Amino acid sequence: MSEESYSEEKALELLKQLENILECDTLIDEVGFIHPTQFVTLNEEESGSLVSSISGEPQSEVGILSSGASDVGAPKYEKMIFWNKDHKLGISTQSLLPLYKAAKHAFMSAIRQYEMLSNISVKNDIFMDEDVPCSLTSASSILEIEVMKHSKALLLLSCDFGTAWNSRKLVVSKKQHVSILMDELLLSALVLSYSPKSDHAWSHRRWVIKMIAGKCSNLQDIVGKESELVEKIAEKSRMNYRAWNHRCWLVSYMTGEQVLYELKKSRNWAGLHIADNCCFHYRRRLLLRILKDFCYTQDPNASFGCTIEVYQVWKEELDWNEMLIKRYIGREALWLHRRFLSLYWVKHFATNLHGVSCHSENKTGINHDLDIFMDNELQLLHSCSRIPDNIFEDVQAQAMFSATYILWLTKQISDSQWFELKEKLTAVDLKTLLNVACPEKNFLWDSLMGLHGSI
């Protein structure tokens, strides 16, 4: 049956079947759109699994809600349009347009009636009109159910329908029950199962978490599960900025222990996805949160101070980043992450550190640490700037990234530190190195070299 051959009555009947499935199986966690030719295989597999019961008797061929679920009260649906098993829902691509039109019509009709009824209720409250029937409340409740039911089906068919998301916010905000808010998290996760980069779905999750904050005692568990959801989606949907942006937003709701745990847990993932800068951006957000929580200053006009614990966390991150740079040649995301680490190291850990340099001997040690840090960066430059005769693209990129990193680092230190570094840089001609690694940008290198004097 083609999309054009669906009548309005047929499309409405399919919509009722879809909404019935969603109502009966509230644990559906994945939605997929299936080509009609695939339904034959899926139904054959389902029929084969039905025969393998303990009694050996074949079970009903009516749609199954989930594995092990009883057929009593199970929703009946067209086998070539819907497939529902093990909390997974498949919808035929051939029926998407008729279903969408029917869902949109039903939703728009319900939301218009709901808004009209809400306006009548407001006027009744203002003018105290006793002639308005007291059944407004029950009618409003019925329409709320209709709005939520139709908007859910509509969003599974068109996840960017902003009016449907806003209508759910309107209804949920009036009730503000934790259970209803948790249902909204389930719905948005269901949408993300087939559209992992949906702006509206991620935004809706943030709205729900804001509503939940302060209303339930297990907020930290919810935040932890949110972080796991992002990692699961990021594994399937690479370079998903919206998902990682959501994870960065969650950092403000994490406890100090959760932040440290997330920093440790995300290291393995980042080490396996070194080209995905989004993960390193997330680690930077965690590190800044640690810096904010553990660093202190008693005088608002005084310099920033940090504790030994934060100092150690930063040192470990620098060492880990250096290991990745040497293992994975020519990866820009690793060098960008090092710039962030080096900037805060020079700014907070190598100068005027109250937590670790309040005593003169500690201050001397930290100043000595800066010299060690700069020497280490120069050694990194030497190890990464060697370009063999048979130039590979990654090796050439590594040389350019290392040279531009040192050039950038010279702009972050004081004049006195610069003169000391300048003497150590005489053994390396950065300009020559950059011109060899990237000759097409020689004018840019000349300009940058002149900003801090000749090297």
Q: Where are the domains of the chain?
A: 3-96, 239-293, 295-455
- Residue 145 has φ and ψ, to the nearest 5°, of -65, -40
pLDDT band per the 50, 70, 90 thresholds, residue 137: confident
Confidence of residue 222 (pLDDT cuts 50, 70, 90): very high
pLDDT at 327 over 80: yes
Q: Give the model's pLDDT for residue 384.
A: 81
The whole-number pLDDT of residue 298 equals 39
Helices 219-236 and 241-250, interaxial angle, to 10°? 160
Give the global pTM: 0.81
Q: Do the beta carbons of residue 425 and residue 455 sit within 8 Å? A: yes
Whole-angstrom distance, CA of residue 342 vs CA of residue 5? 64
95-120 confidence digits (pLDDT tens): 999 999 999 999 999 999 998 888 87
Percent of the chain with pLDDT over 70: 71
Residue 33, Cβ neighbours under 10 Å: how many?
15
241-242-243-244 Cα dihedral, nearest 10 degrees = 50
Quick check: 21 and 89 in contact, CB under 8 A?
yes
DSSP helix/strand/coil, 75? coil
Distance, in Å, from the CA atom of 279 to the CA atom of 275, rounded to the nearest integer, reads: 9
Separation in Å, CA 256 to CA 180, 268, 341: 29, 20, 20
- pLDDT of 352 reads 45
pLDDT tens digits, 275-301: 889 999 999 999 999 998 877 543 444
Q: Comparing 44-58, 212-226, 353-367, 384-398, which segment has the lowest mean pLDDT?
A: 353-367
Percent of the chain with pLDDT over 90: 48
| pLDDT attached to residue 410 | 80
Give the tens place of pLDDT for each residue, 42-96.
877 766 554 444 344 443 333 333 333 444 456 777 778 999 989 999 999 999 9
Cα gap 84→75, rounded to integer Å: 10
Distance between terminal CA atoms of the chain?
74
Does the structure show a pLDDT above 60 at 257?
yes
